[in-house]
Chains A and B, each alone.
Chain A
Amino acid sequence: MRVSFTVNGRPQEADDVWEGESLLYVLRERLGLPGSKNACEQGECGSCTVRLDGVPVCSCLVAAGQVEGREVVTVEGLADYAKQRSCGDSCGTSLDEAKGWQAEGTDSQTGEGTELSPIQQAFIDAGAVQCGFCTPGLLVAADEMLERNPNPTDADIREALSGNLCRCTGYEKIMDAVRLAAARQGEAV
């Protein structure tokens, strides 16, 4: 079957999709967006978390056909998504900004120069990334929580991220990262 939906603001089409394929498979193997991860493929680990019409879901549990006509945001689109949110409707590209992008460029080896969302930057700065396999799902989930709850308590953070397993960090640096992103968000307002 053919599935048409929007991914990170862009219309996408996938052809020859077998009915049993998950949204995760279509993103990773058909659309070239492997950022959403495949740690368990059974809805237990949260590594495949994406936003589906704004709601965080395990994309491994969503049949590809279910996303027909809907909007998906993945980790690859998180920086743009956060930028849109922070500047609301007035999110045009100024000439200066456009020049800035040209001048910067990105390093394909290290990603240096890439524009990041506040939660992405906070994960790097706080040391919340080790192997990084849980990171994309955690970023999408944490970003969604901060959108709803800009001043979370520790208990709020733990509750919101309880569906995302991490095996490397012991979660302490992830807590630090979310606190840091919340604090920076507070300063910016």
Chain B
Amino acid sequence: MPTNGAPTKITQGSRTKGGIGESTLRPDGTLKVTGEFAYSSDMWHEDMLWGQILRSTVAHAEIVSIDTSEALATPGVYAVMTYDDLPTEVKNYGLEIQDTPVLAHGKVRHHGEPVAIVAADHPETARRAAAKIKVDYRELPVITDEASATAPDAILVHENRDDHHIGHVPHPNIVHRQPIVRGDVGAARERADVIVEGEYTFGMQDQAFLGPESGLAVPDEDGGVHLYIATQWLHSDLRQIAPVLGLPESKVRMTLAGVGGAFGGREDLSMQIHACLLALRTGKPVKIVYNRFESFFGHVHRHPAKLHYEHGATKDGKLTHVKCRIVLDGGAYASASPAVVGNAASLGIGPYVVDDVEIEALALYTNNPPCGAMRGFGAVQACFAYEAQMDKVAGQLGLDPVEFRRLNAMEQGTIMPTGQPVDSPAPVAELLRRVKAMPMPPEREWESSEGVDVRQLPGGLSNTTHGEGVVRGVGYAVGIKNVGFSEGFDDYSTARVRMEVVGGEPVATVHTAMAEVGQGGVTVHAQIARTELGVTQVTIHPADTQVGSAGSTSASRQTYVTGGAVKNACELVREKVLDLGRRKFGPYHPAWATAELLLEGGKVVTDGGEVLAGLVDVLEDEAVEVEEEWRHRPTEAFDLRTGQGNGHVQYSFAAHRAVVEVDTELGLVKVIELACAQDVGKALNPLSVIGQIQGGTTQGLGVAVMEEIVVDPKTAKVKNPSFTDYLIPTILDTPTIPVDVLELADDHAPYGLRGVGEAPTLSSTPAVLAAIRKATGLELNRTPVRPEHLTGT
């Protein structure tokens, strides 16, 4: 199907208020501002107990013994469980590879691994009892990087791998490796006038969602359990939880509790199984809430990476070739590492036209904290490096960095390194043009006739400068992200839509299992139902496992895939409603048979605008309901040797311009403005779209100048598991973020939309780095940049 980027035309529902394209307000907004919205940590049940997890204090060790007797004897304690208490033969879980023990068995592989669980009548009692469990560890050498992982005598992090990647990896401490080879790099290199090499380091970033991992497990009378939980994918959790409990999936009922942000960190299980185990063991409801310290150990992080790049270009500014090698540290368990590798490899050269490429991406098993999904998912690390390279090559050629990017920008029809053609608009050059054309923030805004406002200077209220040593820099970057699950994954969603008359009005109810994590999916679902069914009243049913899977709230996919499923189910409901109308009223008016019929404003109308019947009269006391799965077009796996294959569904593009001011004497950075231009295909809810872009941009800013989980390379222990020592941007650190939204429709997607959430997280970081380089003249090959990197102290 050709796609020409023309704006999406809406006929059905265009006259119904609150439909797609409007900035309707969140249906959960009132509850969220009054404090009544029930997050997973707010769950409460009469007679409930509190669960606590005991975690390993060392990164890599054999467990010699565990003594729980003192903990069990503590008044108020109802249960203590270790590996030996697990009820079935299924004792591991995992998203793709089931390598993660529910509770450690004989060995711990990373700092903070769950070893035992306790239930007590007060959270402090549970904590103190857990502290009384005596675990005797015999420490093992730690594997912390590629050299130690692949050394000839390296200890294997997982001794007996039987997963489907073991056959093609060069070493058992490599989770997955994906090469991509296209063209002839050797020959292309001969044509290059300049060749630029660079070695880059990307630090470990945390999702730092504010709502801690938490939930409530309530035992059911039939021997099952009901779990109220914050997650990104209810059905994926269910598939992993039920076998460990020894229950059929029908006896593990799951309801989405309020989710306080996710950003990838809730793709893996955290306390789900532990809470269910304790509830089933004690016969009482069990609540578990991590504190922030535990949260840093309780979920996977963004993979830290080492990236080596070689770019070649001719003197007229055309890229000849790119070679790169991306080594991601997956930590102790696989989590989403294989898919992150696929992304890093396939998106590894960025949104540019390069015919000759050699790419290799791999993820290691180490004893560092497990890493997995985080917003941007493998594309973030690559973008940081290839955009630094683009600036370096432009510098060597004496070209303007934006002009150099524009000269090499991909467009619709470009062939990716995987051989996949880009078959929808790819306005890379246009986004760069737009972001560059935005007005510049004024110079020295901190200065006025009244003096200097230090709050607007690097160092802020620390009053470290009144402008002395402060230098401004401007940097640009652009990125490419895939939308949806790739590499042949059956990435479907399910929606149940019902239309009936309630209180004399036609009302649509939308029921999906989509995890609303803050992104505004619930807002958009209601808008889609209004547009497709021509009603104003839409009820969003709470998400649970009583309806089919919606897939994950990740990969920028929910508006596309669950939005697509809702649209599709609404269309089927509409057809049924029209059939009902034809049966009832067809004999009385020929237009029922001859005209194109629409639902608008609660009525059946012809495309000419003639009203045929009210929906209330069509439906009377009948309810029309449809539940249906919906799929986007299929993708293929990447060839394991060449990386060739139509692996992705859709691409998403954003460009940033960063303006920074650096106190060059102290190495303090103030980001003055971070402008973004992004193509969203069709903004279903412009207010939410801009909110996503600004939020993603800020997470990119965080990893540019402050966010990093620091792991001691000698012990593999986490050194900063708190918001005191792991810093995320505050409102003082975050600048104005002007956004320019482009809407070039992708005809393959519902309404032409393009997934929005992740792309802005990619280019934000390299834009800030480029601006700091411009201000300081330093090379800066690692992120985040800390003051000592700028002052050399």
Contact = CB atoms under 8 A, between A and B. Distances in A.
Interface of A: 18, 20-21, 28-29, 32-42, 44-45, 47, 74-76, 78-79, 109-112, 114, 116, 120-121, 123-125, 127, 129-136, 139, 155, 157-159, 161-175
Contacts of B38: 34
B461 A35 contact: no
B243 to A, nearest CB: 30
B292 A40 contact: yes
Interface in B451-498: 453, 455-456, 461
Contacts of A35: 34-36
Contact of B695 (A109, A110, A132, A170): A170
Main secondary structure of the interface of B (DSSP, over half): loop
A39 B292 contact: yes
Given A34-B35, A114-B34, A162-B730, A45 B210 contact: yes
Contact of A18 (B124, B455, B517, B695): B124
A161 B734 CA distance: 12
Of residues A124, A135, A139, A171, which shows the largest number of chain B Cβ atoms within 10 Å of its Cβ? A171
Nearest to A154: B736
Which 10 A/B pairs are nearest by Cβ-Cβ distance? A35-B35, A131-B518, A133-B260, A132-B32, A111-B30, A170-B694, A170-B698, A44-B723, A34-B42, A130-B518
12 contacts: A32-B44, A34-B41, A40-B722, A111-B30, A116-B33, A129-B29, A130-B520, A131-B261, A133-B39, A133-B210, A168-B518, A169-B694
A112 B325 CA distance: 54
Interface in B236-282: 258-263
Contact of B728 (A129, A135, A155, A167): A167
B691 interface: yes
A130 B44 CA distance: 23
A44 to B, nearest CB: 4
A125 B688 CA distance: 12
A168 B32 CA distance: 14
Contacts of B291: 38, 40-42
Nearest to A16: B122
A174 B35 contact: no
Contacts of A111: 30-31, 34, 36
Nearest to B30: A111
B35 A129 contact: no
B691 A127 contact: yes
A139 B32 CA distance: 11
Given A28-B42, A29-B44, A170-B734, A112 B33 contact: no
B732 A162 contact: yes
Contact of A131 (B122, B209, B730, B737): B209
Given A18-B124, A110-B27, A167-B261, A129 B731 contact: no
Contacts of A41: 291-292
B722 A159 contact: no
Given A37-B41, A168-B691, A170-B696, 12 more contacts: A37-B211, A41-B291, A42-B291, A120-B33, A127-B25, A131-B211, A132-B28, A167-B209, A167-B728, A168-B261, A169-B694, A169-B695
Nearest to A127: B687
A159 B212 CA distance: 26
Contact of A124 (B25, B292, B518, B697): B25
B722 A44 contact: yes
Interface in B695-742: 695-699, 722-724, 728-732, 734, 736-737
A124 B29 contact: yes
Contacts of A159: 455, 461, 732
B210 A170 contact: no
B519 interface: yes
A179 B792 CA distance: 41
A171 B259 contact: no
Nearest to B125: A18
B175 interface: no
Q: Which one of B38, B723, B731 has the greatest number of beta carbons of chain A within 10 Å? A: B731
B723 A45 contact: yes
A141 B259 CA distance: 22
A64 B696 CA distance: 38
Interface in B30-72: 30-39, 41-42, 44
A133 B262 CA distance: 11
What interface size band does chain B fall in?
Answer: 35 or more
Nearest to A139: B33
Nearest to B517: A131
A50 B209 CA distance: 21
Given A170-B695, A171-B731, A129 B32 contact: yes
B84 to A, nearest CB: 32
B547 to A, nearest CB: 18
A38 B212 contact: yes
A89 B341 CA distance: 65
B158 interface: no
B23 interface: yes
B289 interface: yes
Q: Which of B30, B37, B517, B520 has the most CB of A within 10 A?
A: B30
A133 B211 contact: yes
Nearest to A156: B455
A120 B293 CA distance: 30
A146 to B, nearest CB: 15
B461 to A, nearest CB: 7
A173 to B, nearest CB: 6
A155 B456 contact: yes
A116 B30 contact: yes
The listed residue with most B CB atoms (<10 A of its CB), out of A20, A132, A136, is A132
> Which of the listed residues A133, A155, A163 has the most CB atoms from chain B within 10 Å of its own CB?
A133
Contacts of A42: 291-293, 722-724
Contacts of B519: 130
A175 B691 CA distance: 12
Contact of A75 (B35, B262, B453, B687): B35
B730 to A, nearest CB: 5
B363 interface: no
Given A168-B518, A168-B695, A135 B32 contact: yes
Contacts of A158: 455, 731-732
B690 interface: yes
A165 B455 contact: no
Which of B32, B519, B698, B734: most chain A CB closer than 10 A? B32
A33 B258 CA distance: 16
A79 B33 CA distance: 10
A172 B736 contact: yes
Contacts of B612: none
Contact of B260 (A32, A131, A139, A157): A131
Nearest to A112: B30
Nearest to B454: A155
Interface string B657-692: 000000000000000000000000000000110110
A131 B723 contact: no
A124 B33 CA distance: 8
B432 interface: no
B731 A164 contact: yes
A36 B724 contact: no
A172 B722 contact: no
Contacts of A175: 731
A65 to B, nearest CB: 15
A8 to B, nearest CB: 10
B419 to A, nearest CB: 36
B35 A169 contact: no
A168 B26 CA distance: 15
B126 interface: no
A110 B26 CA distance: 10
Contacts of B461: 159
